[in-house]
């Protein structure tokens, strides 16, 4: 039986045209390189800058903050929509509480990064 999966991995990528289409060459940690169309790449990866020279644990914290901030931005945008206003009050409250917690986490991760 099939099931759904969510993957998390850090890759090195650079813009590259293929057959006239915008995309990215993607190099995985095992050295395997592939190509991904820009739209698919953008929906799958969040840029964290040039961190290759930093220790792995620092890279992970930077990646965690980038993922949290991306999700927080999407949640904050949703909270401003009509779809949010149509939710039950309890659901709205929980989403706002989640947003507050994610904002606090972002600050904590920023402090950790600054301390490295």
| Cα 44 from Cα 86, distance rounded (Å) | 29
Inform me whether the pLDDT recorded for 6 exceeds 90: no
**What are the pLDDT digits (tens) for 97-113?**
999 999 999 999 999 99
Distance CA 8, CA 67 (A): 10
Ranges of H-type helices in 7-115: 38-44, 56-79, 82-85, 89-115
Helices 89-115 + 56-79 axis angle, to 10: 150
- Render pLDDT for 34-70 as a digit per residue (tens, 0 to 9): 999 999 999 999 999 999 999 999 999 999 999 999 9
**Distance between CA atoms of residues 25 and 28, nearest Å:** 10
Confidence of residue 8 (pLDDT cuts 50, 70, 90): confident
pLDDT at site 7: 83
């Amino acid at each position: 039986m099939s099931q759904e999966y969510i993957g998390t991995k850090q890759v090195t990528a650079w813009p590259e045209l293929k057959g006239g289409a915008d995309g990215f060459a993607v190099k995985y940690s095992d050295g395997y390189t592939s190509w991904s169309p820009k739209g698919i790449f953008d929906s799958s990866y969040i840029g964290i800058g040039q961190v290759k020279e930093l220790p792995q644990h620092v890279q992970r914290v930077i990646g965690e903050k980038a993922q949290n901030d991306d999700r927080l931005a999407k949640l904050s945008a949703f909270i401003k929509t009509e779809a949010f206003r149509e939710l039950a009050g309890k659901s709205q409250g929980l989403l706002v509480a989640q947003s507050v917690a994610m904002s606090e986490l972002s600050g904590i991760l920023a402090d950790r990064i600054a301390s490295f």
